[in-house]
Amino acid sequence: MRTTVQELCELLGGTLAGDGSVTIDDVASPETATSAHLVYTASAAQYRRLESRPGAVILDHETHQACPQTDADAPRILVGDPQATFIQAMLHFRPPAPRQQIGISPHAFVDPSATIGEDCNVHPGAHIGPDVVMGNGCDIHPGVVISAGCHIGENVTIHPNAVLYAGVRVGNRVIIHATAVVGADGFGYRLEQGRFAKIPHTGTVILEDDVEIGAGTTVDRAMIGATVIGEGTKLDNQVMIAHNCRLGKHNAYASQVGFAGSVTTGDYVRCAGQVGVADHAHIGTGSTLGAKAGIRGTVPDGETYHGVPAGPEREQIKLHLTLRKVPEMRSQLGQLVKQMQQLQEQIDALTGCRNDSAAA
Amino acid sequence: MRTTVQELCELLGGTLAGDGSVTIDDVASPETATSAHLVYTASAAQYRRLESRPGAVILDHETHQACPQTDADAPRILVGDPQATFIQAMLHFRPPAPRQQIGISPHAFVDPSATIGEDCNVHPGAHIGPDVVMGNGCDIHPGVVISAGCHIGENVTIHPNAVLYAGVRVGNRVIIHATAVVGADGFGYRLEQGRFAKIPHTGTVILEDDVEIGAGTTVDRAMIGATVIGEGTKLDNQVMIAHNCRLGKHNAYASQVGFAGSVTTGDYVRCAGQVGVADHAHIGTGSTLGAKAGIRGTVPDGETYHGVPAGPEREQIKLHLTLRKVPEMRSQLGQLVKQMQQLQEQIDALTGCRNDSAAA
Amino acid sequence: MRTTVQELCELLGGTLAGDGSVTIDDVASPETATSAHLVYTASAAQYRRLESRPGAVILDHETHQACPQTDADAPRILVGDPQATFIQAMLHFRPPAPRQQIGISPHAFVDPSATIGEDCNVHPGAHIGPDVVMGNGCDIHPGVVISAGCHIGENVTIHPNAVLYAGVRVGNRVIIHATAVVGADGFGYRLEQGRFAKIPHTGTVILEDDVEIGAGTTVDRAMIGATVIGEGTKLDNQVMIAHNCRLGKHNAYASQVGFAGSVTTGDYVRCAGQVGVADHAHIGTGSTLGAKAGIRGTVPDGETYHGVPAGPEREQIKLHLTLRKVPEMRSQLGQLVKQMQQLQEQIDALTGCRNDSAAA
């Protein structure tokens, strides 16, 4: 797919700066690019850090002006949104493989009572249980287990060895990655005469449209109603969402985040990695939880919280900076105690003196 | 399954307060109940927070007295233990599906040398290796892999795609959730001439009776003896128990808890989410580890530990509250330094004065 | 496999101290050994803590001298490296099962376009996709899914239900444990008009020679190039390595460690459990990250970092010890404030006195 920079420029709707006859045959990262590669930089700072010698660079007009082009520099494709344009270029050089059309494999197990929509691929070794209903255009990869009575929307992709327990409801265009588990029992017991008795979990999980669930992520079913992952919400790998949580729309959580039971969130909530949220907490719309934060209670809309226990970013930064001063504060304190003694001695001397003169 | 409140009351062994002719057709959570739903509240405080308008409420006699019933209030079913009674009602409205009787599926792979008890279901795509011995009444779901020589007790349930490595021993009534892995090699290497040499792990894992293992949880095999999960102990999802740990009975750990090697625990230990325990630590009977705690050494019986590194709850709370005062302490310190200078100046003035008068 | 201590001594190349006629039939851990068991202790301290009564003990010459042998003591096998010798003994009493020779099971699914080397075992229920190329001597266990176009080296072991997404490259002698997932999409989105648009990930994952990947661990594919796990690097269970990370050689990470995107490491890096590393961080060669550490930026070569946010060990220890003094500092501060007032009063008295006398 060798393409000249000139041709790329036209394809991508950019403005050429430099030699358009250079030929490019792939995209690359700024670290590893060689002279046949196209890269992008998102800012002038990033452009200046560029160590490799790519064949061409996508950048925005601002960077172009901030970093005047010399003869030694690669030709440039100037655009408004370098990342978006780069993704376009990536799909030009690496067109996605056409979707396979294998239909329902004879090596898959599909219960006779299941209803499979049109244009679905059910790969060898996949398992579709009784009374499952699946919309059109789904890809069910090898080793996937969809248990009895699940409802699957249209154009859903479920990657290998993922598991849906019975009765889970999955919206349209949902992507579930390998070994994710949706709908296992919530973790609830009653201690009866010294033994744990399991609390039955007769609720379910609802994944709304356009949800993406990462590899190894687990979403437990509710006790009565539904654990809900709101429309467009994306969970990275190894995330845990416990029973009865109700996540809003367009949330995005990095890996190894854990939510205890009955947590609710607004829309556009972001969590960095390894955040933990205690049961019944509420995370407001547009708020952000910093890496490893430990949350309890309520995070107001639009706030950024850090720390364990977490608090507003500004407070936490101040607290952290101050805590670093504690060793210094300690030696200051020691000095004050000494000075105080000296002052006391001086005063005692003065007082003694006065008394002397008074006595005199 | 429409049932009048009067009928429910009899069924559940409660005392009716209000109109027994109201008909109910399901249980619901307090947040989402409508007029055909039964809910429960565990306390007067919870009753007062009730926002929905359910058809009937299960509560205890104390709540009934603390919250006098008016005409606007739903009929009440008064009982001693509202949660237990509610679970009974849930099973009335949502009777569990009868256990499937599929026997050993021709689409499962069962090694000829394996011994399967009576009344077992081995679902399509399950794999039973050589010399496995399985008791009566087990449910082995699709994609489960039970490797060579495992011993499985009676009435064990193993959910889809869970994996048992060779030689693992599982007690009676154990439940293993989807994609859990029991018996992988412990993480042990010797650095020999700059390369890691794997330490062979010839031990095993023992899951005692009534253990429950969450989805995605991993329990590694011991180097020589056995990693043991004690009777009745429950592990939530994505928990990690490393080689040679020996957990006591009736422990309960929330999700994403990690135990390093050779940790021992007493009975009735509880861990909140994301706790980490260092190798060779001991957690005493009846103790509780707070969310995200980092444990090293010994936690005495009956203690509650918090923090990283963790300490007794009372100390940790005091420490945390005091740390929050550090910014205030810092400005106090600054002020003291200033005052000290002023005092010194005043004293110097006095001393100078005295010297003057002495000189005079 | 009953063996006298004399015979063992010869087999293991050690020096006998005590009765060589004692017979041993297995190895055991120091906690559970009985009179027919062989144990080892790595130090005199460990030897003194020995509570069980084993039939024989492997120890080094130093321990032998530090703990003089009495008639009551078990016979000893003196060697230079007790752990290494003990592993040899363990393999004598518990020889590893001979590698199975099942070939390509008719119950496995192998795409006709895949190339499988000689002497490979592909177990029932394993799935080998189109265009996969696999070297000689590999063991592919039940339920493993190797997607289209993966390249697998020689003598690779992949445990049950592990998943390789398309195009992943695996070196020689790599071990991948059960339910691990290699090559899922990196977690990257662009927020476009209020909705997350998925950034295509056309890169791959490279596992170099002698890598070991723990159960439930996930390694995501790069956006363009490759996420790389360097030669000889070992990842424990439930570790997460995000897109575009490049790990050096002979790293070892304990369980539940999480690396965000584009992290790089040198060689011989060690991470204790539950460490989190922020995106684009660099961890220098030979450095160690303490349990639960939260890393950002650069960790220099050979350093040990602890804490959140993490810093050099010495600083962190000092900081932690000082923070524990804060309650004490606070009461000291309160006392200083009081003393200061008293001093002021005394000075005021003196000043008043002086003024009086001046006025006089």
Stretch among A88-102, A159-173, A338-352 having the lowest mean pLDDT: A338-352
C131 interfacial to chain A (CB closer than 8 Å)? no
Closest by Cβ to C250, choosing from B196, B276, B346: B196
Contact C254/B at CB under 8 A = yes
Residue A51's pLDDT is what?
84
Residue of chain B whose Cα is closest to the Cα of A311:
B324
Task: Using CB atoms, list chains with 3+ pairs below 8 Å to chain A.
Answer: B, C
Q: How far is B226 from chain C (nearest CA, A)?
A: 10
Which residues, numbered 311 to 340 in chain B, qualify as contacts with chain A under a Cβ-Cβ cut-off of 8 Å?
Answer: 320, 323-324, 326-327, 329-330, 333, 336-337, 340
A96:C200 CB<8 A? yes
Dihedral class, residue C232 (left if φ above 0, else alpha if ψ from -120 to 50, else beta): left
Query: Is the pLDDT score of B37 beyond 90?
Result: yes
Q: Which residues contact A65 (CB under 8 A, 6 or more apart)?
A: none
Question: CA B21, CA B8: separation in Å to the nearest integer?
Answer: 10
- Minimal Cβ distance to C189: which of A214, A252, A255: A252
**What is the mean predicted confidence (pLDDT) over A89-114?**
95
Q: What band does A354 get if pLDDT is binned at 50, 70 and 90?
A: low
Q: Mean pLDDT in chain A? A: 95
CB-based contact A55:A24 (threshold 8 Å): yes
Q: Does C216 touch chain A (CB under 8 A)?
A: yes
Q: Classify burial at B245, counting beta carbons within 10 Å of its beta carbon; exposed 0-12, middle 13-18, buried 19 or more.
A: buried
Query: Chain B within 8 Å of C141 (Cβ-Cβ)?
Result: yes
Local confidence band at C352 (pLDDT 50, 70, 90 cut-offs): confident
The torsion angles phi and psi of C297, rounded to 5 degrees, stand at 75, -135
Average pLDDT over residues C349-353: 79
ipTM for the whole complex: 0.94
What residue has token string 């000296």? A342
Judged by DSSP in three states, C246 sits in strand
Task: Enter the pTM of the model.
Answer: 0.95
* Mean pLDDT confidence for C154-182: 98
Residue B83 has pLDDT above 90, yes or no: yes
Q: How far is B328 from chain A (nearest CA, A)?
A: 10
Residues 53-82 of C with CB under 8 A from B: none
CB contact under 8 A, A161 and C163: yes
Q: Which residue of C has its CA nearest to A105?
A: C109
Residue at C258: amino acid letter = G
Q: pLDDT by residue (tens digit) across B158-191?
A: 999 999 999 999 999 999 999 999 999 999 999 9
**Quick check: A1 contacting C, CB < 8 Å?**
no
Q: What's the rounded mean pLDDT across residues A192-215?
A: 97
- State the catalytic residue, choosing from A243, A250, A282, A320: A243
What pLDDT is recorded for position A290? 98
Q: Count chain B–chain C contacts defined by CB atoms under 8 A.
A: 178
Rounded to 5°, angle at Cα A41 from A39 and A43: 170
Kindly state the percentage of chain C with pLDDT values over 70.
Answer: 98
pLDDT for the residue numbered A253: 98
Question: In this predicted structure, what is the pLDDT of residue B355?
Answer: 64
Q: Which residues contact A47 (CB under 8 A, 6 or more apart)?
A: A41, A57, A59, A63, A66, A67
Query: In the predicted model, what is the mean pLDDT of residues B331-346?
Result: 88
pLDDT at A342 over 90: no
The answer, for C226 touching chain A at a CB cutoff of 8 Å, is no
pLDDT (tens digit, 9 = 90+) per residue, C3-25?
999 999 999 999 999 999 999 99
Q: What is the pLDDT of residue B234?
A: 98
Q: Among partner residues C210, C333, C354, which is closest to B332 by beta-carbon distance?
A: C333
Q: What is the pLDDT of residues A186-200, one digit of tens each?
A: 999 999 999 999 999
Closest CA to C59 of C73, C38, C43: C43
Give yes or no for residue C316 having a pLDDT over 70: yes
Sorting pLDDT into bands at 50, 70 and 90, what band is B136?
very high
Name the residue in chain B with its Cα closest to that of C308: B308
Please give the pLDDT value at position A20.
Answer: 96
C265 touches A at CB < 8 Å: no
CB contact (8 A) between residue B256 and residue A260: no
Secondary structure in 3-state letters for A245-260: CEECCCCEECCCCEEC
- Closest CB to A143: pick one of C145, C225, C258: C145
Whole-angstrom Cα distance, residue B306 to residue B317?
A: 9
Q: Which DSSP category does B351 fall into?
A: H
B201 given a catalytic annotation: no
Residue A357 has pLDDT above 70, yes or no: no
- Tell me: pLDDT of B356 over 80: no
pLDDT given at position B359: 56
Q: In chain A, which residue's Cα lies nearest the Cα of C107?
A: A107
pLDDT, tens only, A276-322: 999 999 999 999 999 999 999 999 999 999 999 999 999 999 998 99
Separation of first and last alpha carbons in chain C? 109
The pLDDT of residue C237: 98
Q: Is A274 on the interface with B (CB under 8 A)?
A: yes
A83 CB within 8 Å of a chain C CB:
yes
Q: Neighbouring chains of B at 3+ CB pairs within 8 Å? A: A, C
Give CA–CA dist A236/C187, Å, rounded.
Answer: 6
C139 shares contact with chain B (CB less than 8 Å): no
Q: Give the number of beta-carbon pairs within 8 Å between A and B.
A: 177
Q: What is the mean pLDDT of residues A19-44?
A: 94
- State mean pLDDT over A218-238: 97
Mutating which of C88, C161, C275, C285 best tests the B interface, going by the most B Cβ atoms within 10 A?
C161
Cα–Cα distance for residue pair B179/A180, rounded to 1 Å: 8
pLDDT score of A360 more than 70: no
DSSP assignment string, A267-322: SS-EE-TT-EE-TT-EE-TT-EE-TT-EE-SEE-TT-EEETTTTEEHHHHHHHHHH
Residue with tokens 């309650």: C327
Q: Which residues in chain C have Cβ-Cβ distances shorter than 8 Å to A272?
A: 260, 278
Within 10 Å of residue C283's Cβ, how many Cβ atoms?
28
- Residue B351 near chain C (CB below 8 Å): no
d(CA A98, nearest CA chain B) in Å: 28
Nearest chain B residue to A335 by CA: give it: B337
Burial class (CB in 10 A: 0-12, 13-18, 19+), C312: middle
Amino acid at A111: D
What local confidence, expressed as pLDDT, does residue B358 receive? 56
- pLDDT by residue (tens digit) across C146-166? 999 999 999 999 999 999 999
Q: What confidence score (pLDDT) does residue A358 get?
A: 56
Decide if A274 and C276 are in contact by the 8 Å CB cutoff: yes
pLDDT at A272 > cutoff 60: yes
Nearest by CB to residue B161, choosing from C143, C210, C354, is C143
Q: What angle do CA C118, C123, C127 make, to 5 degrees?
A: 90
pLDDT for the residue numbered C354 = 63
Residues from chain C that touch B218, judged by Cβ atoms under 8 A, are 214-216, 237-238, 255
Residues A350 and B347 sit within 8 Å (Cβ to Cβ): yes
Given the DSSP bridges, would you call strands A282-283 and A264-265 parallel, antiparallel or unpaired? parallel
Q: Which residue among B32, B216, B347 sits closest to A218, beta carbon to beta carbon?
A: B216
pLDDT digits (tens, 9 = 90+) for C62-103: 999 999 999 989 999 999 999 999 999 999 999 998 998 999
Q: How far away is chain B from the Cα of C208, in angstroms, using its nearest Cα?
A: 14
Q: What is the pLDDT of residues C229-253, one digit of tens each?
A: 999 999 999 999 999 999 999 999 9
Higher per-residue confidence, C327 vs A118: A118
Distance of CA B37 to the CA centre of its chain: 29
Catalytic residue among B243, B282, B306, B320: B243
**Inter-chain CB proximity C214 and B260 less than 8 Å:** no
pLDDT above 80 (res C359): no
- pLDDT at position C185 over 70: yes
DSSP B43: S
Angle at B204 between CA B203 and CA B209, to 5 degrees: 145
B179 → closest Cβ in A181, A185, A222: A181
The Cα A249–Cα A269 span in angstroms is: 8
User: With an 8 Å Cβ cutoff, are B124 and A109 in contact?
Assistant: yes
Closest residue on chain B to C209 (Cα): B195
Nearest by CB: A107 against C109, C163, C353: C109
The pLDDT assigned to A22 comes to: 95
Question: Tens digit of pLDDT for each residue in B186-233?
Answer: 999 999 999 999 999 999 999 999 999 999 999 999 999 999 999 999
Judge whether A102 is closer than 8 Å to chain C, CB to CB: no
Among C92, C151, C201, C243, the active-site one is C243
Distance from CA of A331 to the nearest CA of B (A): 11
Quick check: C157 contacting B, CB < 8 Å? no
Q: Please give the pLDDT value at position B251.
A: 98
